[in-house]
Amino acid sequence: MAGFRFDAEARQEWRRHWPVVLAGAGGMALASAPVYTTAIMLRPLEQEFGWSRATIASGQMIPAVAAVLMGPFIGLAVDRFGPRRLGVVGVIAACITLALLSTAQAAVWTWWALWGAMALSAMFIKPTIWAAGVSSLFSTSRGLALALMLSGTALCSSLTPPLANYLVDSYGWRTAYLALGAVWAVLVIPPVLFFFNSAADQHRARKAAKADVGAAADLPGCTAREGLLSWRYVRLVLGAMTMTIGTVTCVVSLVPILVSLGHGRSTAAGVAGFIGLTTIVGRLTGGYLLDRLNGNLVAASSLLLTVIACALLLGFPPSVPVAIAAVLLLGFSMGAELDAVAYLMTRHFGLKSFGVLFGTLGGLQALATGSGPFLVNSIYDATGSYRLAVWLFIPICLAGAGLFLSLGRYPDLERSRAPAAPAKAAATSPGEIVVSASK
């Protein structure tokens, strides 16, 4: 009976809110587009301007640093105003700034200035925006909903490298940036504008229509202060950062890594294209498992897949079949990456201050996203190869797996919710978190 009841609740959630997941997936794809595009632009920018690859990749550090500084404030804005307004503004601005990268000139400060503009728009399309909307509307099927939403990055990783490579070869890198900005505008802006929503936005709309003049529902979970000062939160943040540096950096740098290991550029781009499909499969599998198993184990297991993939790349560098196998493993690992982190945030800390807590974590993850390619390309500039970088991914991922496993059981966040009536005040003191035996 419980299983059928669960299925009925999940179906009801999907019938009501599937367009929000679709719109969020588009937002996630757009947020990833500049990262996956830069890997393809390394060679043409290096040839035209004579910049080092580390210099080119340093542009991604600007949004990363901005995300660290602004992530908590964007999270506060999400908690205060709801994610819809921020997301609509963000997707429009992000498409424009992606296209504007085509105007870079030989003076490297123009490249950095354009990435500065990209950083401003990127603040409004961070995962915090999309995860806040989806998490607030899904409970029974939250893991799968987050997985499907975050599959937008898989769509991006599958479409962007071959499309950008074709555009660069056929029309040059400037036209490629313009075309990519237009393509993402057509794919992303309409669904976000018409479909993206959240529980907070729906409540505001009801109040505006005078259908509900009461206060917003009290969401279960920690306050921002409780979460930020928690050692468990620190471990989750560190685990998320190692996951980003190990898995995400390897994936976004995959084409130049494969070229460095002996594959032709076209072959490398073709092999890298497999990652999109496997990332989607990995996300769906990971989302299914997150709703049924302890998410700590799911996150740790995904990092172990990256360790195996890196070992294959190092052990059999010129083999195309082995490279494909490694890419498939990386795709599965990437699939369970951000959705596991977002899911663990909701289960360990709740939704009361999700914007601030996940925004802060997201900012630090963005720092890792930006610094990872910079460090990897610095290693290339110093050694002429990416082999040392791939070696370093292995201990980083092993450390991250240990951090996730150390998080422990999910707390009982419903019992830590502020009491609704004075008669219940003595049952649980505010901020108390009782560990549940489930999962």
pLDDT digit string, tens, across residues 104-124: 999 999 999 999 999 999 889
Report yes or no on whether pTM surpasses 0.75.
no
Query: CATH no. for residue 110?
Result: 1.20.1250.20
Domain enclosing residue 236, as ranges: 15-198+220-415
Rounded Cα gap, residues 393 and 228, in angstroms: 28
| pLDDT at residue 177, rounded to an integer | 94
Within a domain: 204? no
Within a domain: 75? yes
pLDDT over 70 percentage in the chain = 88
Within a domain: 228? yes
Within a domain: 274? yes
In 215-294, which ranges are continuous DSSP H helix?
224-228, 231-243, 249-252, 254-260, 265-272, 274-290
Within a domain: 210? no
Number of structural domains in the chain = 1
Structure tokens at 225: 């202060």
Within a domain: 372? yes
Structure tokens at 110: 């123009």
Task: Give the contacts of 326 (CB within 8 A, at least 6 positions apart).
Answer: 309, 310, 312, 313
Within a domain: 141? yes
pLDDT in tens, 319-354: 888 888 998 898 888 777 777 888 899 889 988 888
Rounded Cα gap, residues 364 and 190, in angstroms: 30
Asked if 257 contacts 39 with a C-beta cutoff of 8 angstroms, the reply is no
Rounded Cα gap, residues 228 and 209, in angstroms: 36
Band of residue 432 on the pLDDT scale cut at 50, 70, 90? very low
Within a domain: 205? no
